[in-house]
Structure 1
Amino acid sequence: MRSRVRGGTAAAVLGALLVAGCGDDGAGTASRAGRADAAAHPVTVTDCKGAETTFRRSPEKIVTSNAAALELLLRLGVGDKVIGTGFPPGKGTFPAGLDAQAQQVKVLSKTVIPKEKLLGSGADLYIDTFSAMKMGGGTGDAPTEKEFEAAGIEHIYLKSTACAARRSSPMTDLSAVEDDITALGKVTGTEDRAEKLVRGMRKKVDAVQKAVGSTPERERPTYFFFDYDAGTKQPTAVCDKQVGNAVINQAGARNIFADCDGAFKKVGWEDVISRNPEWIQLAVRNRGSEAADEKAFDEARKWLETNPATKGLTAVKKDRFLRIHSERTTIAGVTNADTVEKIAATLHPGKVD
């Protein structure tokens, strides 16, 4: 196992970590932030392979691979340290309190950040949401770890999403997401804020679990996450090691593709038909306005209702649709708990408010 100590920069692989020290109150003033940082560090964290890295202070210039890590940093109150991002959030896609700040972050790429631009960004920390998900496609080679090191950039991951391929068991709860938030709080000296976010998530999910968590598997409604934006020619299944599987499970439902090993997988409509879901989530990406969102949801529904292969599904015939943005389900974040609540309240009326 590799072990490194970096004194000039800071980073963390977000989740399943080893931590030394304890934080202060992370209150936001310069003096308090400084005390929190000093108290929280040094911090030792691990990556997807278990390699350890120790950091003596928190990062000052952060680049995020996409909007997921960016939103977490904004919620922790360190958005001023983010100097760039890939896959930027569209205007209006973040909550009102975060959106204006998010729009001020420099966009290094609308998709995967090119290698040269990332290495030359001046960052001391790059938070990678993808890793083994291989989101780069044809956008060019990702930097090697030696190249990151030469540029003075720590390369770390949101483990709840990036390390899916290395999980030995299905993701059935949100503990990995909570670990990501806790770890990021440790690294940035905002432990109290991170703990508050995690407590809020747990309060919501625990209430749902108290109401429907004991429902036997065979009695749980079957559920299909219809990723409309991923294309309709061949549906994309949310598999057992994806955050969405945990969200669906915690809501007291059965993911019809929970037997699929991995994060995402292209399947056939015949597979969906044979499993005949009782409920379907119309999962579309946030368009930035309520009107645009509703139009996209309507399009997804109309496609299911008019397509010969899907119009006979139980969920379609019984008008059992949920309109929930895909990001709130399959991208790790605080809103995963809100999605658990919404799904549970819809599928289990009278048991969950």
Structure 2
Amino acid sequence: MRTRPPAWQAVALTGLMLALLAGCEQQALPAGREAKPLLHASPVVVEVCGQSQSYAAVPQRAITHDVNITEMFLFLGLGDKLVGYSGISSKKEIAPDFEAALDRLPNLSSQEMNLEAMVAARADFVFAGWSYGFVSGGVTPELLAGHGIASYVLSESCIRVRPRPRVALEDVEQDLQNMARIFGVQQQVQGRIAQLRQARERLARQMQGNTETPRVFVFDSGEKIPMTAGRLGMPQAILTAAGARNIFDDIPSNWPLGNWEDMLARDPEWIVIVDYGLPSAQGKIDFLLSKPELAQVSAIRNRRFFVMRYAEATPGPRSVQAAQRLAAALHPQRQITQDDVLMQAATSAGERP
């Protein structure tokens, strides 16, 4: 689901092409001249995977990797700071509200990160995550720093490099707050972030007192060995908020491999399908229905499937909406409010707030 170790592929992008495609509101500088960095009044210091990281300047030429991370960036209205993106293949769909902003930008790599392309784009900042672009032995924050490129790591992904006690919907809000501080737009975007917080808090109130926690299996991909969500992946936070229990919450990782034997023994009452690529969500459902050894699993016997898009199941502005939708499906008697937060906040996506 996440990225594999990168295959190094050189991508030649000319300065003229980048100038035309990067920021719609920025004009290309004369050859040999670079924009002067816009310094913060004092360095911005945020916690990145348990370590304090300092940002002296406001990034001007950013790159994002993966669709959920790109949606977070555009949710903050920072589209004019992007000079490219990667990790968004035809298998992953960005929210319709962000399509126009993405169409204006060069796709630097549909799969893994491409260091040569990022350097050629004269990037000064990369927003990605471990196994969401960053991978040991490939492109890492340290490697980028050696090229003078700052970076920020998605909080959920930090489990790949250090222990974490839990994952929560609040992690998305914290990442958005950190990005707002790094880019100096805290005041302009507080209303957008507040919408996510209010939706999350409203769901918590609506689920207060709930004692029914259906067992849920998250099926990402894989036929011989299923990839699922452990207790430190965003689906764990979504399931918890929606009043459900992840049958693989004993695995201390975010996107681990499970096994069919344990899935059968733990008998999920619902199955969450992560929808991206091939097979389609229906294809994954048909596969599960075709396995005779799973025929007696409660979710399969009762045809209880719930589909999440990739950008809903991974950390991003759609995570809280996914939790609301799931809660409404699992607990219809509670009449869960389903906010359209992304639509409301995305009206000026791709433009500076």
| TM-score (ref. length: structure 2) | 0.77
**TM-fit CA distance, 1:257:** 0.7
**TM-fit CA distance, 1:303:** 1.3
1:225 counterpart letter in structure 2 = V
**TM-fit CA distance, 1:125:** 0.5
Quote the Cα distance in structure 2 between the aligned partners of 1:246 and 1:315. Answer: 21
Alignment pair present for 1:178 and 2:173:
yes
Alignment pair present for 1:153 and 2:149:
yes
Give the 5 Å matches for 1:132-211: 136=135, 141-142=138-139, 145=142, 147-163=143-159, 165-171=161-167, 173-211=168-206
Quote the Cα distance in structure 2 between the aligned partners of 1:39 and 1:151. Answer: 21
- 8 Å contact kept, 2:74–2:98: yes
Q: Secondary structure at the match of 2:332?
A: coil
Q: Which residue does the alignment assign to 1:5?
A: none
Q: Which residue does the alignment assign to 2:114?
A: 114
- 8 Å contact kept, 1:197–1:334: no
- 8 Å contact kept, 1:284–1:297: yes
Residue of 242, 261, 272 corresponding to 1:251:
242
Q: Which residue does the alignment assign to 2:312?
A: 328
Residue of 219, 223, 230 corresponding to 2:216:
223
**Cα gap change, 1:134/1:89 in structure 2, threshold over 3 Å: closer, same or farther?**
closer
**Cα gap change, 1:78/1:335 in structure 2, threshold over 3 Å: closer, same or farther?**
same
**TM-fit CA distance, 1:167:** 3.6
Quote the Cα distance in structure 2 between the aligned partners of 1:53 and 1:177. Answer: 20
Q: Secondary structure at the match of 2:292?
A: coil
Query: With CA pairs under 8 Å and 6+ residues apart, which has the higher RCO, 1 or 2?
Result: 2
Residue of 283, 288, 302 corresponding to 1:299:
283
CA RMSD of aligned residues (A): 2.7
**Cα gap change, 1:196/1:39 in structure 2, threshold over 3 Å: closer, same or farther?**
farther
Which deviates the most, 111-120 or 319-328?
111-120
**TM-fit CA distance, 1:349:** 0.7
Q: Secondary structure at the match of 2:108?
A: coil
Q: Which residue does the alignment assign to 1:16?
A: none
Quote the Cα distance in structure 2 between the aligned partners of 1:60 and 1:282. Answer: 38
Q: Which residue does the alignment assign to 1:20?
A: none
**TM-fit CA distance, 1:215:** 2.6
Equivalenced residue count is 301
Alignment pair present for 1:315 and 2:316:
no
- 8 Å contact kept, 2:328–2:335: yes
**TM-fit CA distance, 1:347:** 0.3
Q: Which residue does the alignment assign to 2:87?
A: 87
| TM-score (ref. length: structure 1) | 0.77
Unaligned runs of 5+ in 1: 1-28, 31-36, 288-294
Residue of 273, 292, 310 corresponding to 1:282:
273
2:202 counterpart letter in structure 1 = A
**TM-fit CA distance, 1:59:** 0.8
Alignment pair present for 1:52 and 2:36:
no
**TM-fit CA distance, 1:158:** 1.5
Quote the Cα distance in structure 1 between the aligned partners of 2:292 and 2:41. Answer: 58
Q: Secondary structure at the match of 2:280?
A: helix
- 8 Å contact kept, 1:286–1:327: no
Quote the Cα distance in structure 2 between the aligned partners of 1:40 and 1:202. Answer: 28
Alignment pair present for 1:347 and 2:344:
no
Q: Which runs of 4+ in 1 moved over 4 A?
A: 37-41, 133-137
Which deviates the most, 162-171 or 201-210?
162-171
Unaligned runs of 5+ in 2: 1-24, 27-37, 337-353
Q: Secondary structure at the match of 1:72?
A: helix
- 8 Å contact kept, 1:64–1:86: yes
**Cα gap change, 1:54/1:206 in structure 2, threshold over 3 Å: closer, same or farther?**
same
Q: Secondary structure at the match of 2:218?
A: strand
Q: Secondary structure at the match of 1:51?
A: strand
Percent identity of paired positions between Structure 1 and Structure 2: 24
- 8 Å contact kept, 2:89–2:110: no
**TM-fit CA distance, 1:144:** 6.6
Quote the Cα distance in structure 1 between the aligned partners of 2:263 and 2:40. Answer: 52
